[in-house]
Amino acid sequence: MEGFSLKKQLISIIIPVFNEEENIDKAYHAIVIELKKHSDLDYEIIFTDNASSDGTFEKLNNLACQDPNVRVLRFVRNFGFQRSILAGYRSAKGDAAIQIDCDLEDPPTVINDFIHLWKNGHDVVIGLRSQRIEPRYMIFLRRLYYKILNRLSDVPHLVDAGDFRLVDKSILQQLQVINDTQPYVRGIISELSRNQIGVQYQRNKREYGSSKFPLRQLIKLASDGLYSFSTTPLRLATYLGTFIAFITAVMIVIYIIFHFFIKQDAPPGFTTTTILILFGISINALLLGIIGEYIGRIHNQLRKRPLVIVDKSINIGYEHLLLSQTE
């Protein structure tokens, strides 16, 4: 029919930032170059600023003035990487959303592969890092973590995957109603997916700025994954307690045999006794810590605080974020 044109599909790009003023312009231009290769698609770029203390927000403000497709959410404080990502997904209006970091370690050229596989019917397309520019022991620990997580969790997690991924609108709609105060977003998305696939790519070296993910943050992220998608750490208390009770019973039997049948008391040992006492105390502390982690998460969940608190917004509303954790 003449004069009839199909409405273009919209791709939302989610970019969480924290003190990335050196990378803002470079990331924006590199991403837009790839998006403009798809004449059948429109785009929006959503920056979520975790209260940067440098000139990041000023850079974003300038970009948003130049390009109305750029949206900016600035939070009153740093709510963490995972909350920042989830807030971006919930703010996306696209038929699909792609999350990518601002440092360009994940190459924007891979976006084309994501879009191609999405058009072929995949609701989640995940970037798999075939090569990392980091020490070998870190690569080993990351892969070991995912193997452990997959063993303990019912949700499949792809090894060498990060948060660089495409998510279909069907998943975005479900993320709107996810009520989790300490979200492990990549795990939630994998749980909601019906047809996810991975794309291997080679990671780039960060050219400007420094990583915002020190070892402490990586350990916290790993803990969030384990506690969010497995109750096995709680079962550990039962298993370990049963094992220690069994060992104790065996030692009691041995003591009775020595005392009543061999007529010889076991040799006293201050060191042995002290070690066993300290071992028991440490096990109790470990198990109480694990239980405390779960109780703390329950406490945070029951308070029903907002996912994030927005300080300033540009070209985008944020009413949906006000209600996301209070309903």
CATH code at 128? 3.90.550.10
> Considering its fold, how many domains does the chain have in total?
2
- The pTM of this model reads 0.74
pLDDT at 278: 61
Question: Does the residue 2 lie in any domain?
Answer: no
State the Cα–Cα distance between residues 176 and 184, nearest whole angstrom. Answer: 15
Q: Is pLDDT above 50 for 1?
A: no
Residues 132, 116 contacting (CB under 8 angstroms): no
pLDDT at 6: 67
Q: Is pLDDT above 50 for 17?
A: yes
pLDDT, the chain, mean: 81
Q: Is pLDDT above 90 for 261?
A: no
Q: Exposure of 27 by Cβ count < 10 A (0-12 exposed, 13-18 middle, 19+ buried)? A: buried
My answer on whether 127 and 165 are in the same domain is: yes
What is the β-pairing status of strands 41-49 and 9-17? parallel
Question: Does the residue 1 lie in any domain?
Answer: no
Q: Is pLDDT above 50 for 141?
A: yes
My answer on whether 126 and 225 are in the same domain is: yes
State the Cα–Cα distance between residues 296 and 294, nearest whole angstrom. Answer: 5
Question: Does the residue 194 lie in any domain?
Answer: yes
The secondary element (H helix, E strand) that includes residue 100 is none
Q: Which residue has the tokens 């096990």?
A: 283
pLDDT band at 211 (very low <50, low <70, confident <90, very high): low
Residues 171, 123 contacting (CB under 8 angstroms): yes
Q: Is pLDDT above 50 for 327?
A: no
My answer on whether 202 and 79 are in the same domain is: yes
Domain that holds residue 243: 232-303
First vs last Cα of the chain: how many Å apart?
Answer: 46
pLDDT at 10: 96
Residues 125, 196 contacting (CB under 8 angstroms): yes
My answer on whether 209 and 67 are in the same domain is: yes
Higher pLDDT, 37 or 142: 37
My answer on whether 217 and 246 are in the same domain is: no
Q: Report which residue type is found at 324.
A: S
My answer on whether 215 and 288 are in the same domain is: no
Q: Which residue has the tokens 């040992």?
A: 269
My answer on whether 88 and 128 are in the same domain is: yes
pLDDT at 322: 64
pLDDT at 3: 47
My answer on whether 68 and 123 are in the same domain is: yes
Residues 96, 11 contacting (CB under 8 angstroms): yes
My answer on whether 154 and 29 are in the same domain is: yes
Across 268-288, average pLDDT: 66
Tell me the β-bridge partners of 72. 47, 314
pLDDT at 284: 75
My answer on whether 211 and 248 are in the same domain is: no
Question: Does the residue 296 lie in any domain?
Answer: yes
Higher pLDDT, 41 or 235: 41
